[in-house]
Amino acid sequence: MKKTVIGITVVGKDREGIVAAFTNFVFENGGNIEKVNQNVVKGLFGMYLEASFTKIVNVKKFDSGIQLLSKKEKMDVSTHHETNSEKNIAILVTKEPRCLETILDAAKKKSLKGCISAIIGTEKTLEPIAKKAKIPFITISESNQEKAEEKILEICKKYEIDLIVLARYMKILSPNFVWRYPNRIINIHPSLLPAFPGALAYAQAFERGTKIVGVTAHYVTENLDQGPIIFQDSFKVDPDNSLEEIKSKGQKLEADTLLKATKMHLENKLEVRWRKVHVKSK
């Protein structure tokens, strides 16, 4: 019999007994713990549980029960049910258009197994691209990142977002945000990590005379650019290439690699085990 898998995220103020409360709830409802990851950063507790059920489970009843438990334990809890149906995607952007355009083009050609429900920007630069594609564009200009993230989470909840794609989104997401979408936030970084972290990777590569420049698509964790790597690709650099030429080549490769990673995720072909991404054989 096919297993039902439910992902559970728990975020809130750290204290004793939280892990036991939620694992016991799963056992009491006939589930088995497949995965459990927990972290504490500055008093904030985050946990991801993956529970499997071999017997038929009443998902609505399970969700209702866990929300009652969340109120009792004063934690913010959400559940995620993996299905073969079309996933809802939110794309987070700043002002670089290449990654966004490439993903939208794939969606237009029906080669993306998912629905782009919303595009969220830190500024209005890319709004015309979203309007042309007839996709809601929401600007979050809030300078306070904590408040900005609260608004983004509200949008993601409204559109029932399954996957968040960072298409050159130039803000650092906090653990409070990241823990709510474990292995469901994909980022593209302009270097072969961990070689040149940070936003100025191409400039670093140029200054160091790098012979090969690459890009890395990875899942986002609380450890910034150190999340599980999905795909990497690279191109050769000629000593006579200018920084602008390197950037141009890199931006195309970024877009292609981010799209590839996004497609694989949407097709349920990726699995994270022990902080490594494995491509499923079936």
pLDDT tens-digit profile of 33-81?
A: 988 888 898 899 999 999 998 888 888 899 999 999 999 999 999 998 7
Please identify every stretch of the chain with a pLDDT value under 50, giving residue numbers as ranges: none
Count CA atoms within 13 Å of residue 32 on its CB side: 7
Rounded CA separation 229/188 (Å): 10
Domains located in the chain, CATH noted: 4-81 (3.30.70.260), 87-279 (3.40.50.170)
Name the 3-class secondary structure at 108.
helix
What is the DSSP code string of 133-185? TT--EEE---SSHHHHHHHHHHHHHHTT-SEEEESS--SPPPHHHHTTSTT-E
Q: Which long-range contacts (CB under 8 A, 24 or more apart) does 23-31 make?
A: 23/49, 25/65, 25/66, 25/69, 26/51, 29/53, 29/57, 29/62, 29/65, 30/55, 30/57, 31/6, 31/57
Count CA atoms within 13 Å of residue 75 on its CB side: 30
pLDDT for residue 240: 86
Rounded CA separation 211/62 (Å): 54
Rounded CA separation 136/42 (Å): 35
CA–CA–CA angle 221, 224, 227 (5° rounding):
45
pLDDT for residue 197: 66
The two tokens of residue 5 are: 């898998």
To the query of whether residue 225 is one of the catalytic residues in this protein, the response is: yes
What is the DSSP code string of 3-21? PEEEEEEEEEE--TTHHHH
pLDDT tens-digit profile of 160-194?
A: 999 999 999 999 999 999 999 999 999 998 877 66
- Which candidate in 63, 105, 225, 256 is catalytic? 225
Nearest residue to 219 (alpha-carbon basis) of 174, 258, 255, 251: 258
Nearest residue to 94 (alpha-carbon basis) of 183, 28, 17, 188: 188
Instruction: Enter the pTM of the model.
Output: 0.83
Q: What are phi and psi of 112, to 5 degrees?
A: -115, 120
Q: Which residues pair with 37 in a beta bridge?
A: 48
Rounded CA separation 199/174 (Å): 17
